Structure 1
Amino acid sequence: MAEGGPGPAGGESLLFLTDEQLRKGIEAMFFAYRGFTADPDRILENYAYGRAHHRALHFIHRSPGTTVNNLLAILGVTKQSLNRVLRTLIEDGLVESRVGRRDKRERHLYLTEQGAALERELSEAQRARMRAAYRAAGPAAVAGFRQVLEAMMEPEMRRQYMALRDGGS
């Protein structure tokens, strides 16, 4: 499979990838994901929460006041699944749901102090792992890695990611 495009230095280069090289990349992604989620999984275990709870906390933190519908679009889960996760987080005092000011049917989501503390703990575990990997790989590899991840995203997911990236803290 051949793909052409600008190389790291901005010049044209062709990149030829064998099936074996692609397989190695796929496997590296699987194992990296296991490492990336291992630390938060251990923390979540203490609360009897799963990764869906973590993702909800993360994106509510990134966009305070986000609506349930927006969170549904970002997470790509069913309404029933998200409602189950949100009900638990709200009952446990980690998330607050407020009625919309303009549209009373909307529910806006915010982390409570307790929710923000858990989100910080989970994110710091992942930031520490990312920071160490980025330092080991160097700036060029970090930029390339981000390009690869962005290129793998579905167009709608990429739009959501870019909106968060460009508009978030």
Structure 2
Amino acid sequence: MADIKAGASQLFLREEELRTGMELLFYAYREFTAEPDEILAQLGLGRAHHRVIYFVGRHPRITVSELLAILKITKQSLSRVLGELVRQGFVTQATGLRDRRQRLLELTEKGVELERKLSETQRQRIARAYRTAGAEAVQGFRKVMMGMLDDEDRAKFAPPGDVRAVGRR
């Protein structure tokens, strides 16, 4: 159970509030993934494929090692998913220029189109929620989400030179 301190300012740390937060995350994730899941199912793909497509799209020429670090999955799992995406023509692999052992990943035109389709409803959902909540709430949401990340991942989202982002937990 969370460290619960007395006082009105700590009421959001009550067990029921924490459980409600957890439940909201589950429901929001269900809605966030529903439409992309339908598109992926038509292609015989799943959420693991979606994550690879998303991050390869966000980071063109990402190495397999970098992608493994982001996804925190086994090489075997990534190999299975990546192999399917390459076979279906969504992702290409190129050999690294400096290190021939590296495999650099990029979306094909077909992959870019799929990533756009998968992300469009998610972007719309987030934009609608952000507009409804307002700037202050969005900033608070970002703080909550950042607080849930481990130090290494949190540092990836920190503004350059922000030493406060590392070491908080």
Partner of 1:28: 24
Runs of 4+ in 1 over 2 A off after TM superposition: 13-16, 159-163
* 1:161 Cα deviation after fit: 4.4
In 2: Cα distance, 1:61 partner to 1:121 partner: 12
Aligned to 1:124: 120
- For 1:131-155, what per-residue CA distance to the aligned partner results, in whole angstroms no more than 9, with x for missing partners? 1111111111111101100010011
Find the aligned partners of 1:113 and 1:36 in 2 and give their Cα distance: 24
1:15 to 7, 10, 19: 10
Structure 1: runs of 5 or more not aligned: 4-12, 164-169
Unaligned runs of 5+ in 2: 160-169
Shift of 1:15: 3.3
Given that residues 74 and 160 in structure 1 are in contact (C-alpha distance below 8 angstroms), is that contact kept between their aligned partners in structure 2?
no
TM-score (structure 2 length as normaliser): 0.86
Would you say the 8 A contact 1:57–1:111 is kept in 2?
yes
Shift of 1:98: 0.1
Letter paired with 1:25: G
Q: Percent identity?
A: 50
Q: CA RMSD in A?
A: 1.7
Q: Which structure shows the higher strand fraction?
A: 1
CA distance in 2, matches of 1:35, 1:137: 18
Q: What TM-score do the two structures reach when normalised by structure 1?
A: 0.86
Q: Which residue of 2 aligns with 1:75?
A: 71
| Structure with more contact order per residue of length (Cα contacts < 8 Å, sep ≥ 6) | 1
One of 100, 108, 115 as aligned partner of 1:104: 100
Q: CA deviation at 1:14?
A: 4.1
Give 2:48's aligned residue.
52
Paired residues, what number?
A: 154
Q: 2:72 matched to 1:92? A: no
